[in-house]
Amino acid sequence: MLFIWLCIIFVPCILIPVVVYLRPSPKKSVNGKHVVVIGGSSGIGKSVAIVAAKEGANVTIIARNVEKLNYAQKEIESYKCCKEQIISKISVDICDYESLEQNFSKIETIVGPIFMMVNCAGMAICGEVEKFTLDEIKQLVDINFLGSLYSVKAIVPKFKMRKEGIIVLTGSQVTLMGMYGYSVYSSCKFALRGLAESLYMEVKPYNISVTLALPPDTDTPGFANENKTKPTETKLISDTAGLATPENVAKKLVNDALTGKFFSYVGFESYMVTTLCTGMSPFSTFLDVIMEATVLGLLRIISAFYIISFNKIVKKCHENKTKKIM
Ligand SMILES: NC(=O)c1ccc[n+]([C@@H]2O[C@H](COP(=O)([O-])OP(=O)(O)OC[C@H]3O[C@@H](n4cnc5c(N)ncnc54)[C@H](OP(=O)(O)O)[C@@H]3O)[C@@H](O)[C@H]2O)c1
């Protein structure tokens, strides 16, 4: 008799939370909604804007260069699925907080309340830490970290008031792991993880989701610029992985954000790094946690071989440099 009562009390207590957390969230839609893409005039951001336009959203792209904005606006217009859709642009520097906040309010009165904000503005300069000028360090911190923080600070009150919203921040694979030549860029991107995880908990009660996108090397104008500054070591390590297309990264990013996933990644290496670094990060379903817990040990062993091969590349380059000096 006692056993039956225990079953009646405890089985639902265990089963209900498991079933609730196993269930994936239903996918939200951007059709007819307002999507703002900061950094939407080029690369991954422009592809995100195109995906949103194809799904019926009103899209606003934000960047600094007016010519690039005009060109991108025309391209995004061509992907609209109905003629009522509004594709607009604003020229703002994300590091100018007041201007960003004012422009968010202005664009809401013209296009409608913002439903999703994707921040893709960012840039990389590579090199060993001692070779950076102080201006370069400040530039990377401003664009990659402060810009993201400012965009969040400007949008959260609007989302909280409406009890609805989606925020996407763009990190990189070096948000979760360090790599030769990325000491400055990677530390800015690591900071985004702290921002995204804390924010996730702060805004969850308001029906606002946060996604941290972690693109691998992606074929964009930004990547071409980054390549100009890569030391040989960084180039050789990067070459061990493939190059994603901005279209694929954008499709995955939008899908993950609309299904409320915290991390958005593409490809095996990104899956491995993200799974290894999940730690105390938010999760979407309990099934994800079970999968991660099952493969963690094996992935750690595989990761050791990656680390060994990266360190071998660095050692070889160091030996070559030393030989040249002698
Ligand atoms: N491509 C890759 O391999 C890769 C890999 C991992 C992570 N990521 C990250 O993904 C994001 C997008 O990279 P991407 O390669 O697509 O870059 P991209 O082609 O250079 O595009 C960057 C966009 O951000 C805008 N932007 C830059 N600084 C800005 C500022 N201060 N204020 C407003 N807009 C600004 C640029 O326009 P304006 O210059 O006209 O302002 C442009 O629209 C970045 O955060 C990058 O760190 C890229």
Is a pLDDT exceeding 80 seen at residue 14? Answer: no
Q: Which residue from 36, 47, 64, 117 has its CB within 8 A of the most atoms of ligand 1, so it is best to mutate? A: 64
CB 61 within 8 A of CB 69: yes
Q: Is any atom of ligand 1 closer than 6 Å to the C-beta of 220?
A: yes
CB 179 within 8 A of CB 237: yes
The pLDDT assigned to 323 comes to 83
pLDDT for position 325: 73
Is the pLDDT at 43 greater than 80? The verdict is yes
Share of the chain above pLDDT 90, in %: 88
Which residues have a Cβ under 8 Å from the Cβ of 78 and sit 6 or more positions away? none
The atom of ligand 1 lying closest to the CA of 119 is 45
Q: What is the rounded average pLDDT of the residues 287-302? A: 95
* Cα–Cα dist 5/72, whole Å: 65
Whole-number Å distance between alpha carbons of 39 and 47: 10
Cα 179 to Cα 224: distance, rounded to the nearest angstrom = 18
Q: Is the CB of 39 under 6 A from ligand 1?
A: yes
Query: Measured from the CB, is residue 44 less than 6 Å from ligand 1?
Result: yes
pLDDT in tens, 189-230: 999 999 999 999 999 999 999 999 999 999 999 999 999 999
Q: What is the mean pLDDT of residues 23-41?
A: 92
As a whole number, mean pLDDT of residues 42-64 equals 98
The whole-number pLDDT of residue 26 equals 87
Residue 125 contacts residue 136 (beta carbons within 8 Å): yes
Ligand 1 centre distance from Cα of residue 204 (Å): 27
| 113, 182, 302 from 306: Cα distances, Å | 45, 17, 7
Confidence of residue 25 (pLDDT cuts 50, 70, 90): confident
Query: Is the CB–ligand 1 distance for residue 234 below 6 Å?
Result: no
Considering only residues 12 and 104, tell me which one the structure prediction assigns the higher pLDDT. 104
| Alpha-carbon span 74 to 22, nearest angstrom | 42
Distance 120 CA to ligand 1 centre (A): 6
Helix (H, G, I), strand (E, B) or coil at 215: coil
Q: State residue 73's pLDDT score.
A: 98
Sheet containing strand 208-213, edge to edge, reads 87-91, 58-63, 34-38, 114-119, 165-170, 208-213, 263-264
Q: How confident is the model at residue 324 (pLDDT cuts 50, 70, 90)?
A: confident
Q: What is the pLDDT of residue 5?
A: 65
Under the banding of pLDDT at 50, 70 and 90, the label for residue 67 is: very high
Domains delineated in the chain: 28-325 (3.40.50.720)
Query: CB of 186 closer than 6 A to ligand 1?
Result: no
